[in-house]
Amino acid sequence: MTSQTFPAGGWKTRTVAIPRPLGKPALLRLRSRGPITTYFAKPWTDTAQERSSGAALFHTWGRSWHPFVLPGRYSHLEVCKARGNGVARWQLDRMLPEDVPPLPTTVAGHGTQLFSWEGEQLEMRYEYAARSGGLQFTHHAFDTGESLEVDRTGTQRGTVRVAGPGYLWVHSAPAGDWTLRAV
């Protein structure tokens, strides 16, 4: 596995080391540089004691940035090109905590976005404008980046409950317009 400085990029599958203190999450963003080339983000643990991969976290579409949280237990990220779809390059970059906006009580968005939430439990009503696909939500702990339980209903319309402080990842597949409003 190769070690890279940021930003990192390429046009085919590559595994990038994500240096940071052990157990701490990494705030990253990934994009394809072309409108029809899709890449998958796959986490890896590569230490003296263990080498293993996790399930793909998500896939890109279009040229949009896809911000996300890499949990602290993973040391690397593999960017894998989906077979037979375009020839564009990919770009991976770090984000700082201050680059992640706080979750407002009402927000309209498009595609994938990442928010921080400092408050207690929050319930939000959401709507996804596209006719196919839907919204996915992941709540990540601030200290480890591990996924926390999210209670939600529906893929295109419903409610999502955030249990407390952490990062809220909103992922629309395919990229579409969506809204979130506090109940």
Residue that the structure tokens 């279009």 belong to: 62
Give 80-117 pLDDT, tens digit per residue: 988 777 778 999 999 999 999 999 999 999 999 999 99
In this prediction the pTM is 0.91
What integer best gives the mean pLDDT of the chain? 91
- Residue 162 · residue 106 · CB < 8 Å: no
Give 23-65 pLDDT, tens digit per residue: 999 999 999 998 888 899 999 999 888 899 989 999 888 899 9
Strands 177-182 and 147-148 come out as unpaired
| Tokens linked to 73 | 């237990």
